Amino acid sequence: MTSAAPHAAIRTQVRIPLRFTDGYSTTALVSTFTGLVDGREHLALECGTPPPVPLVRPHSECLTGDVFGSQRCDCGPQLREAVERITVAGGHLLYLRQEGRGIGLYDKLDAYALQDTGLDTYEANLALGHAPDERDYTVAAQMLQALGVSTVALLSNNPDKAVQLERLGVAVAARVPTAVHRSEANAGYLSTKARNGHHGLGSVERSGTVPPSTAAAG
């Protein structure tokens, strides 16, 4: 059943130059919001010139990967890839404060400690009393509504994002896969996401990455 997300509004917009550690740079129009249901400080970054069906990446915050370059996940490389692809295609990166698939930073680090004893990423969440994935994309739908976006090309390998957005009234015209940023450190993590989380990661056992696909609605 489809139900529209509660109304939210743009609070502030400011243009910020971005530069990544590999030298890639772009400019983003950063929006903050009022009325978001969870009260957290989520951000939308508009890069490039959005077409009628923009490329949209809901990216869950990962301090260890996004900021410190942790190799235990693929979050930092996915963020870097998304910003460049959205700049080229035109669209929005939604930076969602949902650390550790929604369980928070400290519990995520506790989950890492459990993974070091042999549990996988989903089993560790369960052992801590959490669901395997507690993320809720209501705020993503609210942000898109406030930005005037009703239909998206969704840049994601996670089918749950498309299911939740569709249920919240955001039409997903296409689901565009991201590259597979595999390393020796995160290979098991990626395999678990493909097996248990149904992420469309192709063959994560291959070396290297899968080239990004071109965004196309349809």
Dist. CA 50–CA 91, nearest whole Å: 4
Give me the mean pLDDT over the 142-159 stretch.
97
Tokens of 71: 């190799």
pLDDT at 188: 54
Which segment of 6-10, 106-110, 146-150, 207-211 scores lowest on mean pLDDT?
Answer: 207-211
Half-sphere exposure of 3 (CA within 13 A, CB side): 4
Tell me the pLDDT tens digit for each residue of 180-207. 766 565 555 556 655 554 454 443 333 3
Residue type for position 154? L
133 catalytic, yes or no?
Answer: yes
Dist. CA 172–CA 193, nearest whole Å: 22
Task: Give the phi and the psi of residue 126 in degrees, each rounded to 5.
Answer: -65, -40
Half-sphere exposure of 118 (CA within 13 A, CB side): 0
Position 214 pLDDT exceeds 70: no
Dist. CA 100–CA 33, nearest whole Å: 23
HEC sequence for 112-180: HHHHCCCCCHHHHHHHCCCCCCCCCCHHHHHHHHHCCCCEEEEECCCHHHHHHHHHCCCEEEEEECCCC
11 catalytic, yes or no?
Answer: no
**Of 74, 133, 167, 182, which is the active-site residue?**
133
Position 127 pLDDT exceeds 50: yes
**Of 135, 167, 182, 206, which is the active-site residue?**
135
* Structural domains of the chain sorted by starting position, each given as residue range(s) with its CATH number in brackets: 9-98+135-196 (3.40.50.10990)
pTM, to two decimals: 0.82
pLDDT at 210: 32
The rounded percent of the chain whose pLDDT value lies above 90 is: 77
pLDDT band at 36, cuts 50/70/90? very high
Across the chain, mean pLDDT equals: 86
Dist. CA 137–CA 117, nearest whole Å: 31
